[in-house]
Amino acid sequence: MIIDALGGRVGDTEDLKGSDLLALAKCMKFTKDGEFFSSSNLADFCAHVLPPSCEVRKINFPDAKIFTERLPTSLFLVAFDIIGNNVGCRNGNSSHWGIVSACATSQPEEGQLYMYIQHSQSKVPILSTHAELKRSNSQLQETSSKFNGDNELSGTVIQITPSSPT
């Protein structure tokens, strides 16, 4: 899903199937059944499987201006609670990763930043405001009881930037 979101801008990629990726993530002790409750682990995994031309960084949840500036050349993996096909708040009991690959601003007087989030379980992107997505990400607390490791979803995102062709 990440490579598709990058629109082929990552150059040659190894032909890995979903089952191969799951086996590799298990071998690296990042997951048991495909879940990632650590943004550091997911960032490390992405850096391992994406081509070296991609820069992968775990960063603090960006403000709206940073998203707007960086989205033309980067995409962001964000953990949030999903309720139906909406961003919600359930303390991490329905947390999923989504790809933010585009945003739009409402009328200038409102200054609201809307974000398009692609989720693997839906063909239709989720539309959320920056404030809603940040609130959902910041309240992810319950994941620590599901995973024996460093739970650090809350307040972080993963930025992936393919290098520009020279």
Give tens-digit pLDDT for 86-124: 999 998 888 899 999 889 987 766 778 999 999 887 889
Q: Report whether 136 contacts 126 (CB < 8 A).
A: no
DSSP lists the bridge partners of residue 146 as: none
Q: Domains in the chain, start-ordered, CATH in brackets?
A: 2-162 (3.90.70.10)
Our measurement of the distance from residue 67's CA atom to the centroid of its chain's CA atoms, rounded to an integer in Å, reads 13
| β-strand partners of 55 | 161
Compute the average pLDDT of residues 146-151: 54
Q: For residue 13, what are the contacts with CB-CB under 8 A and spacing of at least 6?
A: 3, 50, 51
As a whole number, mean pLDDT of residues 146-160 equals 77
Q: How far apart are CA 60 and CA 163, in angstroms?
A: 21
Specify the pLDDT at position 12.
47
For range 37-60, the mean pLDDT: 91
* Cα 11 to Cα 87: distance, rounded to the nearest angstrom: 32
Residue 66 has a pLDDT of 92
Question: Looking at residue 151, what is its pLDDT?
Answer: 61
